[in-house]
Amino acid sequence: MVKTMPFEEPVVQLKAKIEELKEYTVSAEVDLTAEIKNLEKRLHKLEQEIYENMEPWDRVQVARHPSRPTTRDYIQLLFTDFIELHGDRLYGDDAAIIGGIALFDGKPITIIGHQRGIDTKENIKRNFGMPHPEGYRKALRLMKQAEKFNRPIICFIDTKGAYPGKAAEERGQSEAIARNLVEMAGLKVPVISVVIGEGGSGGALALGVANHIHMLENSTYSVISPEGAASILWKDASLAKQAAEAMKITAPDLKKMNIIDGVIREVYGGAHRDSEAQATYMKDVLINSLRELSKLSAEELIEARYNKFKHMGEYNE
Amino acid sequence: MIRDIFRKNQKKKYATIPTEKAKNDVPEGIMVKCPECRKNVFTKDLMKNLKVCPTCDHHMKMTAHERVEIFLDENTFESMDDHLETVNPLNFPSYTEKIKSDAKKTGLNEAVLTGVGQLDGQKVVVAIMDSHFRMGSMGSVVGEKITRAIEKATQLQVPFIIFTASGGARMQEGVLSLMQMAKTSVALRRHSDHGLLYISILTHPTTGGVSASFASVGDINIAEPKALIGFAGRRVIEQTVREKLPEDFQTAEFLMDHGQLDAVIHRKDMREKVATLVQMHMNKEVSTW
């Protein structure tokens, strides 16, 4: 049973009702086909109504859904021959970021992404997808390797943020993120980032200085979590819902603000309902991006990335 | 009496020394004892299992020629620089004799075998160190052979793959050995600047000057399970820091946890995985979609 979210409760109830009637038809030998058909029509309409008018806070719930597909799921569904490469060659191997080489459409590509766990045990190993500096340094090492061998890079962003811990500070969390931003700006190969879940602040951006940035429809990308913003601005974390609306953190909002290049549509109710279909939607988008970017020279790619980020920000002069 | 039964052995006033013939009851070469779990394995079975103990999965040492056999495409390997001869630059006592005896034992001119071959149809240059030859230690000839192999790979514009197995720099050649670390590195830098792939496969044991030079700087660093890899020896470190080191210290798995390795790969998967990696690095330009 997939965990359901409050905003989709009417859909869930109606679905249960339909199931009940179907069972009843079999057990009591009463013909209820007409009623069932009617209800199914209503369900379809209700689904449209609910899923096409999702509030920011609803999207936050979907983005955080425990069975939402992770980087590893997309790697399995989109690529072949994935070989995971470990370690930053400096201090450790951070399981909160995974990376490696695989074939996409038969052609080599480097993949890097945040990785959270699917259960408590794995979440502890992967630190809930919150990287330490060694995670970012591993990512950078793999990007540099991709650059040397002329492989495009695809980054999957899915983190609440870089880990705020003592050890992380000692090893230079800030420097690790900052270094990635600067180095990504100069990469001579196409870089595509896709926000697949939560894009939490600098910890997300460290995999996000890309030529194309895409977001899944129900993912978020923000300078801070809604809870964090609410507690800083209004000293009350329970106002997260309002903060989610105020901060413009959803994919459609960010597209309107020209922060991202595209919104990847999701299957009804969220990617977790059908990860295979979701991967197909994503594949088309990635291929289009690669087609466009592989035409550009190294200088053009760097120039395009420069211009992209140079124009972010609003002010009067 | 019952007591006599126990006394029986005490009466024996002499020791038995088995004859040479009896000692070789299990003719040499038929069975091998796993150094890890101490179980006996038939040599024939062991070779079929790529010298991995069927009981405990311990990866035993391999000779350079055995590696060629299990790693490269059949009959594609052509060795290089077998004519180079080790000299005794510091006139170290009995050094030349030891080299001669190891050469006879292993059929190699030095502790590394280099050459050109094919891996799943792709041309590569390989260097395979052999720990049966002076513990795989690196002197002038080892350094020169590896350097020439790297240069060959650069000239042919193909990947360079090394299997390391070494106790480190060779003491008997003094500072000349130390400089082989730098010599191999300058050659690797050139190879890398041509955008070519270098895969370092660290096998048991890879330590000292070899781990502190070419073994650690692959575009991709791979190790065999449980391989001992480190800079200084365990005893030296324990005496220096005066504390007991963890059981898994300096194993391949320990190194991977500490960010030094890309992957630990079982011997039975090594050929296929490395071949895939090589395949993925044949592009000279970004592919078009």
Mean of pLDDT values over A21-25: 81
Q: Could you tell me which of A157, A251, A139 has the C-alpha nearest to residue A196?
A: A157
Is B287 within any annotated ligand binding site? no
Q: Could you tell me which of B85, B144, B157, B86 has the C-alpha nearest to residue B116?
A: B157
Looking at per-residue pLDDT, the higher value among B149 and B174 belongs to B149
pLDDT value at position A234? 85
pLDDT value at position A235? 84
Give pLDDT tens digits for A205-249: 999 999 999 999 999 999 888 888 888 888 888 888 888 888 889
Cis peptide before B205 (omega within 30 of 0): yes
Does the structure show a pLDDT above 60 at B25?
A: no
A244 lies in a domain? yes
Does the structure show a pLDDT above 60 at B8?
A: no
* Percentage of chain A exceeding pLDDT 90: 61
Mean of pLDDT values over B54-69: 95
Residues A294, B259: C-beta atoms closer than 8 Å: no
Q: In chain B, which residues touch A (CB < 8 A)?
A: 192, 195, 197, 219-221, 256-263, 273, 276-277, 280-281, 283-289
pLDDT value at position B11? 59
pLDDT value at position B22? 57
B197 interaction partners in chain A (CB closer than 8 Å): 149
In terms of Cβ atoms closer than 10 Å to its own Cβ (0-12, 13-18, 19+), residue A16 is exposed
What's the CA gap between B46 and A250, in Å, rounded? 59
**pLDDT band, residue B27 (cuts 50/70/90):** low
The ipTM of this complex is 0.77
Residues A150, B286: C-beta atoms closer than 8 Å: yes
Q: Are residues A124 and A17 in the same domain?
A: no
A102 lies in a domain? yes
What's the CA gap between B256 and B264, in Å, rounded? 7
Best interface-test mutation with B: which of A83, A107, A153, A187 has the largest number of B CBs within 10 A? A83
Q: Are residues A295 and A202 in the same domain?
A: yes
Does the structure show a pLDDT above 90 at B284?
A: no
Does the structure show a pLDDT above 80 at B86?
A: yes
> According to DSSP H, which parts of chain A are helical?
9-28, 33-51, 56-63, 71-78, 120-125, 133-148, 166-170, 173-185, 201-205, 226-233, 240-246, 251-256, 275-293, 298-310
Class of domain B61-282 as given by CATH: alpha beta
A58 lies in a domain? no
What's the CA gap between A197 and B64, in Å, rounded? 49
Residues B259, A81: C-beta atoms closer than 8 Å: no
Q: Are residues A222 and A301 in the same domain?
A: yes
Looking at per-residue pLDDT, the higher value among B99 and B28 belongs to B99
Mean of pLDDT values over A40-47: 86
**pLDDT band, residue B7 (cuts 50/70/90):** low
What's the CA gap between A133 and A141, in Å, rounded? 12
**pLDDT band, residue A34 (cuts 50/70/90):** confident
pLDDT value at position B175? 86
Provide the sign of the torsion angle of the four alpha carbons B20, B26, B27, B33, taken in this order.
negative
Q: How many CB atoms lie within 10 A of CB A80?
A: 12
* Residue A262 CB contacts under 8 Å (≥ 6 apart), including other chains: A212, A214, A215, A255, A285
The ranges assigned to domains in chain B are 13-60, 61-282
Maximal CA-CA distance, chain A: 76
pLDDT value at position B129? 98
A291 lies in a domain? yes
Looking at per-residue pLDDT, the higher value among B242 and A300 belongs to A300
A294 interaction partners in chain B (CB closer than 8 Å): 286-289
A149 interaction partners in chain B (CB closer than 8 Å): 195, 197, 219, 281, 283
Q: Which residue of B has its CA nearest to A290?
A: B289
Mean of pLDDT values over A100-122: 94
Does the structure show a pLDDT above 80 at A304?
A: yes
* Percentage of chain A exceeding pLDDT 70: 100
pLDDT value at position A310? 85
Residue B257, token pair as written in the block: 């946890």
Q: Which residue of A has its CA nearest to B254?
A: A92
Could you give the number of structural domains in chain A? 2
**pLDDT band, residue A287 (cuts 50/70/90):** very high
| Shortest alpha-carbon distance between residue A58 and chain B (Å) | 36
Residue B102, token pair as written in the block: 């190891």
**Domain span at A10:** 6-53
Mean pLDDT of chain A: 91
CATH number at residue A304: 3.90.226.10
| Shortest alpha-carbon distance between residue A295 and chain B (Å) | 7
pLDDT value at position A44? 86
Mean pLDDT of chain B: 91
Q: Are residues A255 and A134 in the same domain?
A: yes
Q: Are residues A124 and A266 in the same domain?
A: yes
Q: Are residues A43 and A88 in the same domain?
A: no
pLDDT value at position A220? 93
Q: How many CB atoms lie within 10 A of CB B195?
A: 13
Q: Assess contact for B219 and B262: CB atoms under 8 A.
A: no
Does the structure show a pLDDT above 80 at A50?
A: yes
Mean of pLDDT values over A160-169: 90
Q: Does A149 lie at the interface with B, CB-CB under 8 angstroms?
A: yes
pLDDT value at position B6? 62
Q: Are residues A96 and A123 in the same domain?
A: yes
Does the structure show a pLDDT above 90 at B94?
A: yes
* Percentage of chain B exceeding pLDDT 90: 75
Give pLDDT tens digits for A250-260: 999 999 988 99
Minimum mean pLDDT among A6-15, B68-77, B153-162, B271-280: which range?
A: A6-15
B286 interaction partners in chain A (CB closer than 8 Å): 150-152, 189-190, 294
pLDDT value at position A315? 83
Contacts 24+ apart (CB under 8 A), B86-92: B86/B110, B86/B139, B86/B140, B86/B141, B87/B140, B88/B172, B89/B140, B89/B173, B89/B174, B89/B176, B90/B172, B90/B173, B90/B174, B92/B172, B92/B173
Mean of pLDDT values over B215-222: 96
**pLDDT band, residue A109 (cuts 50/70/90):** very high
Does the structure show a pLDDT above 90 at B282?
A: no
A16 lies in a domain? yes
Q: Assess contact for B163 and B199: CB atoms under 8 A.
A: no
**pLDDT band, residue B251 (cuts 50/70/90):** very high
Quote the Cα angle for A56-A60-A62, to 5°: 115
pLDDT value at position A10? 86
| Shortest alpha-carbon distance between residue A2 and chain B (Å) | 34
Q: Are residues A81 and A201 in the same domain?
A: yes
Residues B260, A87: C-beta atoms closer than 8 Å: yes
